[in-house]
Amino acid sequence: MFGIAATYVTKFISTPGHGYLVSTKAMLRELGIADKISDCSYQRNGSVYLEEDVDAPLFLAAMEKAGFTVSYNSVSVNDDYTDKMEYYSA
């Protein structure tokens, strides 16, 4: 059986000290993982910045299970990029 592959395009934000894969709270809810994301990730205006070590791999595994391929563009920013963001909470 052949299905249609869907690609989810997003950004990977890289600071000198860490990295974050960007998604949305709505997507995390749809995947059923919104309550599994740690407070090492950040949120702002409906976007969620998934920390690279645990939360981003959890998201990528859930996306793969849902039949999505994830593609991203890398963006380098300063260390203070997340300073004005809230820590993630479901």
For the chain, the structural domain boundaries read 9-87
The H or E element that residue 89 is part of is none
Mean pLDDT, range 13-25, rounded to an integer:
95
Place 1 in a pLDDT band, splitting at 50, 70 and 90. Answer: very low
Condensed to tens digits (0 to 9), the pLDDT of residues 44-59 reads 999 999 999 999 999 9
- Prediction pTM value: 0.91
Contact 24, 34 (CB under 8 A): no
